[in-house]
Structure 1
Amino acid sequence: MIPNAYLIFEDESFLDSTVAKMNALRKSGQFCDVRLQVCGHELMAHRAVLACCSPYLFEIFNSDIEPHGVSHVTFEDLDPEAVEILLNYAYTAQLKADKELVKEVYSAAKRFKMERVKQICGDYLLSKMDSQNAISFRNFASSMGDVRVLAKVDAFIQDHLLEVSEQEDFLKLPRLKLEVMLEDNLTLPSNGKLYSKVLNWVQRSLWENGDHLERLMEEVQTLYYSPDHKLVDGGLVIDGHSEVFGGEEDHLQFVQKKPVRESTQRQMSCSSSGSLSPSNQAANDPKQTARREWKYIASEKTTNNTYLCLAVLDGVLCVIFLHGRNSPQTSPSSTPCLMKSLSFEAPPEELEEHPLSPMHYARSGLGSFTLHHHSKFLENTLEECLRTVECYDPKEDSWTFIAPMRTPRARFQMAVLMGQLYVIGGSNGHSDELSCGESYDPHADEWTQIPELRTNRCNAGVCSLNNKLYVVGGSDPCGQKGLKNCDAFDPVNKTWSNCASLNIRRHQAAVCELDGFMYVIGGAESWNCLNTVERYNPENNTWTLIAPMNVARRGAAVAVHAGKLFVVGGFDGSHALRCVEVYDPARNEWRMLGSMTSSRSNAGVAMLGETIYAVGGFDGNEFLNSMEMYNPETDEWNDCAQALSALSE
């Protein structure tokens, strides 16, 4: 039967035959209405075909004054062979290029705005990358402004910096030599935050002092690393002054909302010998300089107190050699830490309802957990890190101090395993992510050191599962992106082992155990917040992506109640959140619940009885010492002591 009396016929060979004939017509110049002049070579083609494949050429043809004549388009900076390869692709959908021509094909595809070809060429180049050609690949990706390829090249260099540093391309890079004076009891932190301070020092030298990058590289520069983890100009220390370069959050200065191409209006250009030459732009014009890239890429400790770093300074790929030595000078006075007031105002007596008792300290980025049925433990930070630990008794509505931790720390999570409370990693509030961990014995009221992690990290998730302690994700030592790492600690053998990696890099994720599985919820890859959720099965050591949350969030807290996950607050990239949602594993779905009375990111949360408590956090303006609780039966949050009394009776 022929439906509707129409004849229907599909010729499977027609397209291939037609495409082959059209390409043959192009090569013989028949019916062609486009002439591409590429570095003295003339290539013929058909306007309609090229307009379909190249948005760039479509715009040119569409603006022709005489659209029915022959279009002439000239390219003086493209490779004729590469353009011919793109023309073949436009007619046959087959991309065939000698490996030596892939970069030229990429450049031509970029000009023609052929994004698919760009991606294929970029992936091919990445597949051929090794330690020997990583620097040249990075220079090429930077000149093309390809953020995707550039990020993957940088990740490779981070993992293979020592091998890359032995190659000829690396040895030709311009270099900045720094000698950092140290007090006898100090060592340099071996992570990227130290170099954010170095980048800050270079910026100040160029912008405020009017120095040129080339001049800074002519001789060894002397700096001073103060006891309070600040980087001070060495000359100022000798003169009896102490101007500080680089606070704890300096790395935020180098985060660009939009990627900046190193090739865009570059003030300095790098010659084959590695020397620098200023361009026609004014080297100290901050308007021009702000548009170029400042970026830490990777670093390695080569010998005792000697470090090797690769960074982009003012748009120039450079090597930084940094050596720490004992200081002959007297230390400048420590820079005082800015403290936020720890006081809180009592509510007016005329209010009928009274908030639950506040903690002694306002805290954010704290750890919290229930240990026994009547206590909750919390730790952490204001602008500085705390060792203090507070215990809450809901019957007495009071907070008491217990034994302090051995190490001040912030931006960490905690878990209970075999009656012991564990805290792992975090930040010391200065320049270091931590690899150390400790456990708390509630009977002895004391903390004990446990074996260190193999990777320094903060903002990691911690969870107990099947008599092991798991540490998941976190911030890398550079503080620039999340980690996929998952490590398990055996408290009996006191050893760490590797587990399967996460599907997605993430830090500041909420982590918990439910029904024999471990869940990692939200977080951020770098700065972009995630709504994705992964579940770990310890039986086969695999991570599986499950239903995503309704709201992307990092720094959220999670509690388990009645076989479901309750995710509380967090930060969505622009605001601290009040909203709460619950996950039902039986349905694999998320549902929004009643919102908290306060916005809270990096808060603590724990279950006491049938009640969920949210404690501390940051509301977008200030650190909180308040607490509120959730009643699952009424789907309401309340900060009233009267409601607590009713629940605890």
Structure 2
Amino acid sequence: MLKNCSSMNLIDKAEKSCNMMLGWGEFENEVAEETMQANNFAFEAFSTMQDIRRQGKMCDVTLKVGGNKFSAHRIILAASIPYFSSMFTSDMLETSKNEIVIQGIDEDALEVLVNYAYSGHITVNVNNVQAIMVGANYLQLQAVKNFCCTFIKKRLHPSNCLGVRQFGEMLMCAPLVERANSYLHQHFVEVSKSEEFLQLPKENVINILSQNELNVKSEEQVFYAAAAWVKYDDETRNKWMDELLQQVRLPLLRPEFLADVVQVDPAAKSCLRCRDLVDKAKDYLLMPDRRSEFPPNMVRPRYCTEIQDTIYAVGGITSAGEALNTVEKYSPMIGRWEMTSPMRTCRSRVGVAVLAGQLYAVGGYDGMHRLNTVEMYTPDTDEWCDIKPMHEKRSALGCVAHDDQIFVCGGYNGVDSLSTCEVYRPHTQTWQFISKMNKSRSAAAVGVFEGTVYVLGGHDGLSIFNTIESYDRKKDKWCMSVPMLSKRCRHGVASLQGRMFVFGGYDGQKFLKSVEVFDRVTSQWSFVVQMSMRRSRVGVTISGGKIYALGGYDGCSNLSSVEVYDPELNSWKDSDRMWAHDGGVGVGAVPLSM
């Protein structure tokens, strides 16, 4: 009894204390409320509900798929999965059903997605991601669908990208389709050798072969892809060879390839229409006056604009006239310049070439001497190393990579402008002289156009030229070509989609911002829209289907500015300025590792 009386007294006291007014007078001017937020409240609550579900308690709906049944709480499914939210909050028949049949979703995938509704996390792998993405699409779980999409995009391969593209189209997942198409364009040659490609229906193959974005070194690779597809089931597919051959840009093939490969291909040889197509391509090569009759898209090389190369600015000269060993790189995708390891030697008026993913800095001037030394940069290790030097010392030289070799043309040895040319072959690590040019040329532009090395303009110490020479490798001979409209030295050159562009320079009287282009169809030069600034000693390179003009000298000041030319729009726009360079720099673009 005493214990009970004591308990009653405690209760009475508690009631009295609750009825007492607390003295808050001193705090009347302060905020009268605060909120508590339990950080893990939702997680712990849903975790508890998942435990309850696994015990089979308080569940009010069963999902049936195939031979499996999954018990769940209607309110949890409605709160977490849009498909069930629509189902359970509308007048649908399933609203009142205790058992709901689900079709179109894999059993294991549904179990994973129901668990996701309670836990908020999901794990996918190469074995289940496809089924889970289908289920997420069906249940309108966009976040899960996006997660699966990202997982698949990271694992694209030449052997699966066509299947991934078809899967993305089936689910109307545009990001997956776009990424698969991009991968196809960038890795076309490898994809064309896969079982997926060889098993495609004709219409799909024709669609792929018609695309301008295919990343190929030459049109020969497109022909080989078409021929391999036909040969895979030649009895059925021989009759379609002419339809595929119409997608191959035959006028861009070498005459020897047309005669020795295309013309003797069994499927092409037995098809009259194919022989007509080959004859028309020969007419294009033999009769330049008829080239205008060909559709423009069939006589312009393909170019994969989705490949964004990393641009390197190498060496150069300061406003005070000092040579630099500084190197910086620019990624168009990121839009930022970054410093890399400097060269071992300071080099202004340096030649730069990119071969097999490596950057070469050739010759130049170190502030005291003309150089014959050469350095090679490996982007993966961010390291420079010396390689075998040239035979001659050269600054203001022309330099370009072509056919697994580096061509070096002309330049200045400290006494004379040079007509000599050398070729570096990495597989033998040797330099070899080739035939001399017809003229001595310093500060000329050197580029590759239609598989041929061209040397444009330059000077001999007395005169500045508009003349052009091209190298006939078979004859080891330099031949004069169609001259430019303007005399130019210290200018830049770039070739893109069947046209050769020349930028800026100096004509002996003024510094130039004009740009001219040579079109293979008309075999003529013409002016296009000029740069925004005069640029002598301009560095020029290509990335992502655009042409970059870097730095230079405008007649008064060295330039750190960069502008970008869009050949499709014939327009220029400003890009990000270089950080560490102004004036003339050597420039090269290294393809990103895919």
TM over 0.5: no
Structure with bigger helix share is 2
Instruction: Give the number of the structure whose alpha-carbon radius of gyration is greater.
Output: 2
Normalised by the length of structure 2, the TM-score is: 0.44
Normalised by the length of structure 1, the TM-score is: 0.40
